Structure 1
Amino acid sequence: KGKSALVSTGRVERSQAILQSDTAQHVRLTVARGRERDDYPNSPMGAVALARQTFYDVDWYGKAWAAYKADNKLSRPERNEALAALAPYLGGEKPVIIDAANEQFFERADRFARELGLSIIIRGSGREYRRLDLVRASGRTIILPVNFPRPPKVGTVEESLDVSLEELMHWDHAPENPARLEKAGVTFALTTYGLKDAAAFLPNVRRAVERGLSADGALKAMTVTPAALVGAKNRLGSIAPGKAANLVVTDGDLFAKKTKILETWVDGRRHEHAPDPKTDVRGTWAVELGGADGRFAKAIVQLKGSTKSLHGTIRRDADGTDKKDEVKLAKVSLRESQLHLTFEGKSFGHEGVARLSVVVAFPPEGKKTWLGSVLWADGVQETVKAEQTAGPTAKDKEDEDEEDKTDEPDGDKSVVKELTIGEKKEEGTEGNKGNEGKKEGGKKKEPKPETPALYPVNYPLGDFGRMAIPEQPKVLAIKNATIWTSGPAGKIADATLLVQEGKITAVGKDVAIPEGAIVIDAAGKHLSPGIIDCHSHMATDGGVNEGTQAITAEVRIGDFVDANDITIYRQLAGGVTAANILHGSANPIGGQNQVIKLRWGLPGEELKFKEAPPGIKFALGENVKQSNWGEKFTTRYPQSRMGVEQIMRDALSAAKDYQKRHEKWAAEHTGLPPRKDLELDALAEVVAGKRWIHCHSYRQDEILALIRVCDDHKIRIGTLQHILEGYKVADAMAKHGAMGSSFSDWWAYKFEVWDSIPYNGSLMHKAGVVVSFNSDDHELARHLNHEAAKAVKYGGVPEEEALKFV
């Protein structure tokens, strides 16, 4: 994104309004909606990869020019003003503001900044309370919105079914977010960003104060902290000699609901907000309506209420005493000096609605007057003039004060908790606007006070969230179980398993149970290792594919681990304890994988299985050559299976050359430093055997071609995914050392899988290939034990061996 500027809101020339033209660089770690399928990047993980590469390019650019200036015999580096402009941000000299749309993006922004050494400010989401410990530990300053959600609509059974528990809990907790951050010691500045109406800002800050934010903390978050964030604390943010005279004048505590802002001063210029008594039209008016025949009808108009909510009456009367013809004004509006009234014209001899429009004169001295016309429903138009005979009453002034003190912008009157289906709506609640503040028993109704959140925060927020991670007993013994070890011991009946501090310490028939252990009697039950899904696309919200280019090795599934994905919870119920989250198959060489442990309730970083070897997605067949994308997608190379083989061969050769250049520079430090290329970095790890290839594959010819390419580069394939014709090339797979992760019994769902058979897994297993059955599907993953059983049915694989498939 672009850079922001610090601008004065005073009434000055545009050139004088800019106080600071280069305040911060803004970054968004996702993509805008509506991008074309072939526009890079078109996925959130692609956006992060692009931003990461850009900052690495900034670093390289600075080093390259430094080397050239030290030795002008070197080739002059390219000139790139964009990279030069970003240099102060990479070094932390100036701040970078990163958008964080939710608590998970907060974690990602912090991790991104730490990798690159950026000094960042995070534009928050109002959801920081959901991961408060993580936010506090980051030490980041937040630009915090106060766009608290409106009350969910639960007035009918049908509406209530559409509201999730997460929505209800967020509505309940959101106003306490600032208070919780303050209590946690997090520095934040408040912003109007996210509000549909900026006028809701102060009322919402007052709500936050009522829900626990200190008044001093709120004031600091609107003055001192934002001034410091934009590098203007010497000029703005507090009242002190030498600083700009930017002031707010109120008639009480700024954060009290009934306090009224009287004046705002910007750069020493005064801006009054109190109603100007000179433009007050409330009171009694003697009106003359002139007919075409020269005769005049006299009337009395009474205007009452507050200046923001006028109402009144009109009556035809000569002396002002007879009220029998008095009618209510249907509408009263005043815009500057233009006054408009509508009323029923029957008492004046005209059926239908009359519309009166006049200009009000407010002389410095003397009485206020009107001049204009009235249009009757029958089309007759007459002149109107009037003179004010009495000003507003004491009661009108009282109404004015009350309205000013309780006024809140429409759309943010969410102080009443409407949680009961069928509950009668209170006056002033959503759905009954306009009645707020009406009298009851002769007294003005006060707004209901804010109440604390009804329930504590769970993780993830909403259905099935946990209050805390389950306590792990120091010693746990499970006895009398049938234990499937998936090891040399095979299946052991009436056995005991001993776990100490999360690690298995003993398994067998004659295991001594230590004193004090928690003992579970599992008689009649079976115990097996946790299931591992070797091909999954769950728990990521960064897009499964960055399919805009043929090679996107720079993107990382690990940048977008979605710890809130309910699929984690559901698959835990099916016995899955770990999963290999893969990039999709949109390109020959896709992005980097992420192996996770299914730790429901923990943040994304703590799901990552750090000991698992890193991997990358390769793919063959219809998907990558775009033959099933539609007629528009016929120009991206490669468009044939031959081209797929060639682009992989070329990419691996390029990675070798890239690695040699970097090794030479590291040893000699001669010439310009080589540029860090994240795409080639990942492929260089493949060539070095540090990153496993997981390749989407179906047909035997393509599988053999890939094996030959990797043999030529001395690379061993990690897994061939899907591998539905693996039974045809099982000997070649075993010789190469490639493992196969297959579907158990999927076939004929597209042309290139027509030769699939349910015996595929058992045949590969018998040929000496390490075989697993995977899901590639959120629902199927909950039944992987059943998938393993199919190896017993199709091919007679022993039960103990079949379990190892998952």
Structure 2
Amino acid sequence: MNRLQVYLLLFFLGCAQMSAQDYFPVNDQVKAKNNNYMAFVNAKIYVTPVQVVDKGTLLIREGKVVQAGKSVTLPKNTVVVDVSGKWIYPSFIDVFSSFGVAKPKKFSAKGRSAEYGPSREGFYWNDHIMPENDAIDKFTYDDSVAKSLRKVGFGVVNTHIQDGIARGTGVLVALNREDNDAVRILDDRSAQYFSFKRSVAKRQSYPTSLMGAMALLRQMYYDADWYAKGHVDTKDRSLEALNRNKDLVQIFAAEDKGNVLRADGIGDKFGIQYAILGGGDEYERVADIKATNAKLILPLNFPEAYDVSDPYAAAYVSLEDMRHWNQAPANPKILAEHGVPFSLTLHDLKSPQEFNDKIRKAIQYGLPKTKALEALTTVPSDILGKSDEIGSLQPGRYANFLITSGDIFEKGTILYENWVQGKRNIVNDMFLKDIHGEYKLVVDGQNFSLSIKGEPTSPKAEVKRDTVKLKAKLNYGNEWLVLSLVDGKENTSYRLTALVDPDDDKLKGRAVLSDGKETTFEAVKTGTIDKKKKEKGATGPNMVAITYPNVGYGYASIPRQETVLFKNATVWTSEDAGILENTDVLVKNGKIAKIGKDIKAGAAKVVDATGKHLTAGIIDEHSHIAALAINEAGHNSSAEVKMTDVLDYEDRGIYHALAGGVTSLQLLHGSANPIGGQSAIIKLKWGESPENMVYENAPKFIKFALGENVKQSNWGSYSRFPQTRMGVEQVFIDYFQRAKEYGAKKKSGAAYRHDEEMETLVEILNGERFISCHSYVQSEINMLMKVAEKFGFRVNTFTHILEGYKVADKMRQHGVGAGTFSDWWAYKFEVNDAIPYNAAIMHDQGITVAINSDDREMIRRLNQEAAKTVKYGGMTEHEAWKTVTINPAKLLHLDDRTGSIKEGKDADLVLWSDNPLSVYAKAEITMIEGAVFFDLEKDAKLREAVKRERNLLIDQMLTAKESGHKTQAPQQNKKELMHCDTGAMEQ
């Protein structure tokens, strides 16, 4: 069968298969249905990624696969196409697409988002929850985009509205250009989608943060359950849709390794196993990712090298970002090695045309080709629950397949055809003869040398007469060759045209010379050209080692507990024993095992502490480091949000704090609202996961706030309640009254709607959660104590409390402690009355006083801040030291575990080079539970290692640029320095 016959057969077959539904009338043609079979024979067929048939046959009929294998019996009415030497694969599937769905328009923002509430009636109270949205309602098939997807091998995409936290359902679409939506839509409710990102089209203020989005999702699921049980009299179309869609595939757009774990945690809480869109950095926490048991959807958004040719600009690029460029292409390989199932997506690529280079790069970095093919076929079909329809060439599946010239993942392989639902889409001419080679060209008796090389589908010509190179332009398609030549030296031109004979190695045809003379030409093949071109960076740069955390100053391995004996130290116990001279301290199994003189070492590692000072680790009662967000500013109460949801274990502020002797801190919500969020109490275990940093069975705390920030006098919002200090008091009264009523209903045994916010406030009323309150002026300090006493509980800590010296007697009577600054004042109006004697005056009144930081810079020198209480107020050195050790431990109800050097307590210790209150003192060793998380000597080595690694990666990037790879401009990825009001004004 010649080429023309094949094309005609395929054309008529396609026409006969035009498939309007069988009950539709047909008035413009004879109504007929083609029952013929079609067989592709002599191909290498990937029935599945692991079932491969050499010289096999693929038999299809009516858009479905009938059989694929070695021995296939062909019915009489079979059209046979010989594809000898060709390879056949299942077409690719993208689980996470926006194909055919327009992006929502961003609302025009005027003023603070806190001024905006919900815009809809009859739906969920939060505009960012939109499970009622169905992508099918907004879907329009666009074949120009579909063509670009088919061109790189995709036959099916799962598309959805990429906007909002609950996004509604997706639609599964075959990229079938010939039929209509009735045929190409495989599932009009294919999955239900979620994310942590609020809608760009909605103004509603809440949530403004990641922790707010997480809290909203949890409350949404509780409300959906309450609604499903018939407890709501009115109709909520959002919750009805959410419940209706709960049996669909659930897909979560996390887009970051940490968010993958956060999303999975929400799913686990409500018995949902999400398929999760990752961010390409999952290799950094692969063990934790594997433990989720989630199927991932991986983008191939490997970053381009930075242009570091300017050394000053190069300094802006963080080591973390340099590493990610170096390591990210290995992400699929590392996940595959650890048995994490994943599919691949075009999401986050600038265009589909990048796909081939990206997938080849992943393979160069070690991703097995079988796993790559699984990630594009069988895994996505499994994620969607459609393995019996798509993803393989097994009988009964849609006839979605690719015909290629060879291994689809090899550079130079040509994708000829992409069949979708049995409909042929030509990407490149499968029957086009390969004309690459060396030729002797003769035109009008003149001899030339002709080289045809380049990409198989777009060859290029190089022509010389003797040693003179001519300008040449070659066009080749539909069997016709057109070659134009210009000889600038001789000022002559040649225009050659030929119909290429597939059975003849000669090229011959007509030629038109520059003087208009018509003649003939002939090109005789004299040799072949090696088309296997070495790819740029084919092996990829050498990967640098992953550290814990995988940023600058990360460790090769997570520090582990040791048995250590500190000999002859000056021991600051922070206990009644005071300061002990020439004393030994033995650390064993993470605890302080023994304190005394002349302790025998045994197998312990001995540290000579002669002339040095050993203290308990510093505890910062009020900190904002190690967080991805500080404020949820959308409501005047955000008691439902949790700082544990947004721990940033990669924040280098942790390492800096360890260098300043800090071992524990309370990570507090900010002061955007009177009732803030739940705090996190953590140990600064640099390199550990967030979960392992949080204190086990930690006391429960929450942040409250008073003053200028919560009434928003500093950033011009005039709508959100409260606007006055009187209003702040009313917020507390209102919420606690509601919590009291909620708690009473809960205790009664009656059915009740689970409310995350009220649950938290009830814990306060029951004495199960403690308040740490941002405060300044005496009137408000008194106010909150009176509100607390009215509802039968006590405030635990006033933090900042710069007018505490005015009401210290009342604070003592109430039983509240104080966390304060040593000598900060005058940074805003309500701090005008601050004095540096504040801490000493409150201490003298019998109040437990701690010095805190509230600042990532001050946390590094809290030892010196404590020393200021000696100067301002005459506190003894040991009492001063207690303000950063045992006193904050008492305020956090952790003094039975840490905060002092006492047998049986956690070995959270710091070895100082000098008196710890001295400005000359350096933390030489900072230990947490018997593991050394900072070592001054190792720090010096780390600094050198960081320099060497930066230089190595800069060299690799320079090499990449010289090799012709794309680069991006240097960018500074600098973490924001967070304080109480960070994020309080977010839109």
| Same fold flag (TM > 0.5) | yes
- Greater mean deviation of Cα atoms: 743-752 or 302-311: 302-311
Is contact 1:361-1:370 (8 Å) kept? no
Please give the per-residue CA displacement for 1:504-555, whole angstroms capped at 9, x wherever unaligned: 1222346x435222222211000111101111111111x2111122112122
Q: Which residue of 1 aligns with 2:194?
A: 27
SS of residue paired to 1:271: coil
State how far apart, in whole Å, the 2-side matches of 1:487 and 1:701 are.
Answer: 35
Q: Which residue of 2 aligns with 1:491?
A: 579
Q: Which residue of 2 aligns with 1:579?
A: 665
> Higher relative contact order at CA 8 Å, sep ≥6: structure 1 or structure 2?
2
SS of residue paired to 1:84: helix
Equivalent residue in structure 1 for 2:176, among 10, 14, 31: 10
Is contact 2:706-2:780 (8 Å) kept? yes
Q: Which residue of 2 aligns with 1:502?
A: 590
**Partner amino acid, structure 2, of 1:471:** R
Are residue 545 (structure 1) and residue 631 (structure 2) matched?
yes
State how far apart, in whole Å, the 1-side matches of 2:805 and 2:617 are.
Answer: 27
State how far apart, in whole Å, the 1-side matches of 2:695 and 2:256 are.
Answer: 23
Are residue 702 (structure 1) and residue 792 (structure 2) matched?
no
**Partner amino acid, structure 2, of 1:516:** A
Please give the per-residue CA displacement for 1:369-409, whole angstroms capped at 9, x wherever unaligned: 999xx9xxxxxxx99998985579676xx56x83xxx6xxx
Q: Which residue of 1 aligns with 2:205?
A: 39
Are residue 560 (structure 1) and residue 660 (structure 2) matched?
no
Assess, with a 3 A threshold, how the Cα gap between structure 1 residues 699 and 140 changes in structure 2: closer, same or farther: same
SS of residue paired to 2:687: coil
Assess, with a 3 A threshold, how the Cα gap between structure 1 residues 181 and 392 changes in structure 2: closer, same or farther: farther
Q: Which residue of 2 aligns with 1:614?
A: 700
SS of residue paired to 2:305: coil
Equivalent residue in structure 2 for 1:733, among 798, 805, 811: 811
State how far apart, in whole Å, the 2-side matches of 1:224 and 1:448 are.
Answer: 30
Equivalent residue in structure 2 for 1:328, among 455, 471, 474: 471
State how far apart, in whole Å, the 2-side matches of 1:628 and 1:694 are.
Answer: 22
State how far apart, in whole Å, the 1-side matches of 2:809 and 2:516 are.
Answer: 102
Please give the per-residue CA displacement for 1:344-367, whole angstroms capped at 9, x wherever unaligned: 999779xxxx9x999999999x99
SS of residue paired to 1:64: coil
Structure 2: stretches of 5+ with no match in the other structure: 1-166, 885-987
Structure 1: stretches of 5+ with no match in the other structure: 66-75, 289-299, 316-321, 375-381, 407-436, 438-444
Assess, with a 3 A threshold, how the Cα gap between structure 1 residues 390 and 272 changes in structure 2: closer, same or farther: farther
Q: Which residue of 1 aligns with 2:620?
A: 533
Is contact 1:188-1:225 (8 Å) kept? yes
State how far apart, in whole Å, the 2-side matches of 1:369 and 1:558 are.
Answer: 77
Is contact 1:29-1:48 (8 Å) kept? yes
**Partner amino acid, structure 2, of 1:642:** M
SS of residue paired to 1:272: coil
Equivalent residue in structure 1 for 2:545, among 439, 453, 456: 456
State how far apart, in whole Å, the 2-side matches of 1:642 and 1:170 are.
Answer: 51
How large is the Cα RMSD of the aligned pairs?
3.7
SS of residue paired to 1:2: strand
- Greater mean deviation of Cα atoms: 747-756 or 201-210: 201-210
State how far apart, in whole Å, the 1-side matches of 2:515 and 2:264 are.
Answer: 69
**Partner amino acid, structure 1, of 2:622:** H
Deviation at 1:327, TM superposition (A): 5.0
- Greater mean deviation of Cα atoms: 485-494 or 560-569: 485-494
Are residue 785 (structure 1) and residue 859 (structure 2) matched?
no
**Partner amino acid, structure 2, of 1:785:** N
Equivalent residue in structure 2 for 1:629, among 688, 696, 715: 715
Q: Which residue of 2 aligns with 1:274?
A: 428
- Greater mean deviation of Cα atoms: 786-795 or 6-15: 6-15
Are residue 79 (structure 1) and residue 235 (structure 2) matched?
yes
- Greater mean deviation of Cα atoms: 549-558 or 165-174: 165-174
Assess, with a 3 A threshold, how the Cα gap between structure 1 residues 269 and 309 changes in structure 2: closer, same or farther: closer
Please give the per-residue CA displacement for 1:142-162, whole angstroms capped at 9, x wherever unaligned: 111222222332334334323
Deviation at 1:646, TM superposition (A): 0.9
Is contact 2:496-2:510 (8 Å) kept? no
Is contact 1:482-1:524 (8 Å) kept? yes
Is contact 1:104-1:604 (8 Å) kept? no
**Partner amino acid, structure 1, of 2:367:** L
State how far apart, in whole Å, the 2-side matches of 1:528 and 1:385 are.
Answer: 99
SS of residue paired to 1:528: strand
After superposition, residues 89-128 of structure 1 pair within 5 angstroms as: 93-128=247-282
Assess, with a 3 A threshold, how the Cα gap between structure 1 residues 201 and 314 changes in structure 2: closer, same or farther: closer
Deviation at 1:742, TM superposition (A): 0.6
After superposition, residues 377-392 of structure 1 pair within 5 angstroms as: 389-390=521-522
Deviation at 1:488, TM superposition (A): 1.6
Is contact 1:100-1:125 (8 Å) kept? yes
Q: Which residue of 2 aligns with 1:64?
A: 230
Is contact 1:301-1:312 (8 Å) kept? no
Assess, with a 3 A threshold, how the Cα gap between structure 1 residues 197 and 719 changes in structure 2: closer, same or farther: same
State how far apart, in whole Å, the 1-side matches of 2:646 and 2:727 are.
Answer: 31
Are residue 795 (structure 1) and residue 853 (structure 2) matched?
no
After superposition, residues 224-239 of structure 1 pair within 5 angstroms as: 224-239=378-393
**Partner amino acid, structure 1, of 2:685:** R
**Partner amino acid, structure 2, of 1:462:** V
**Partner amino acid, structure 2, of 1:155:** S
State how far apart, in whole Å, the 1-side matches of 2:497 and 2:677 are.
Answer: 69
SS of residue paired to 1:270: coil
Is contact 1:492-1:508 (8 Å) kept? no
State how far apart, in whole Å, the 2-side matches of 1:548 and 1:358 are.
Answer: 71
SS of residue paired to 2:189: strand
**Partner amino acid, structure 1, of 2:614:** L
Deviation at 1:97, TM superposition (A): 1.5
Give the percent of matched residue pairs that are identical in Structure 1 and Structure 2. 40
Deviation at 1:211, TM superposition (A): 2.7
Assess, with a 3 A threshold, how the Cα gap between structure 1 residues 556 and 368 changes in structure 2: closer, same or farther: farther
**Partner amino acid, structure 1, of 2:570:** T
Q: Which residue of 2 aligns with 1:54?
A: 220
Q: Which residue of 1 aligns with 2:285?
A: 131
Assess, with a 3 A threshold, how the Cα gap between structure 1 residues 447 and 644 changes in structure 2: closer, same or farther: closer
Assess, with a 3 A threshold, how the Cα gap between structure 1 residues 266 and 657 changes in structure 2: closer, same or farther: same
- Greater mean deviation of Cα atoms: 760-769 or 150-159: 150-159
State how far apart, in whole Å, the 1-side matches of 2:519 and 2:802 are.
Answer: 93
Is contact 2:432-2:477 (8 Å) kept? no
Equivalent residue in structure 2 for 1:642, among 711, 714, 726: 726
Equivalent residue in structure 2 for 1:181, among 330, 335, 340: 335
SS of residue paired to 1:577: strand
**Partner amino acid, structure 2, of 1:531:** I
SS of residue paired to 2:586: strand
Please give the per-residue CA displacement for 1:771-799, whole angstroms capped at 9, x wherever unaligned: 11111100100000111111111111111
Assess, with a 3 A threshold, how the Cα gap between structure 1 residues 387 and 174 changes in structure 2: closer, same or farther: farther
SS of residue paired to 2:738: helix
SS of residue paired to 1:269: coil
State how far apart, in whole Å, the 2-side matches of 1:715 and 1:370 are.
Answer: 100
Are residue 715 (structure 1) and residue 798 (structure 2) matched?
no
Assess, with a 3 A threshold, how the Cα gap between structure 1 residues 201 and 658 changes in structure 2: closer, same or farther: same
Equivalent residue in structure 2 for 1:152, among 287, 306, 324: 306
Assess, with a 3 A threshold, how the Cα gap between structure 1 residues 384 and 642 changes in structure 2: closer, same or farther: farther
Is contact 2:617-2:662 (8 Å) kept? yes
Q: What TM-score, normalized to structure 1?
A: 0.80
Number of residue pairs the alignment of both structures matches: 709
Q: Which residue of 1 aligns with 2:567?
A: 479
Assess, with a 3 A threshold, how the Cα gap between structure 1 residues 15 and 149 changes in structure 2: closer, same or farther: same
SS of residue paired to 1:27: strand
Q: Which residue of 1 aligns with 2:320?
A: 166
**Partner amino acid, structure 2, of 1:656:** K
State how far apart, in whole Å, the 2-side matches of 1:385 and 1:51 are.
Answer: 78
**Partner amino acid, structure 2, of 1:56:** Y
State how far apart, in whole Å, the 2-side matches of 1:508 and 1:33 are.
Answer: 63
Equivalent residue in structure 2 for 1:204, among 358, 365, 370: 358
Please give the per-residue CA displacement for 1:4-23, whole angstroms capped at 9, x wherever unaligned: 22111122212321101222
**Partner amino acid, structure 2, of 1:458:** T
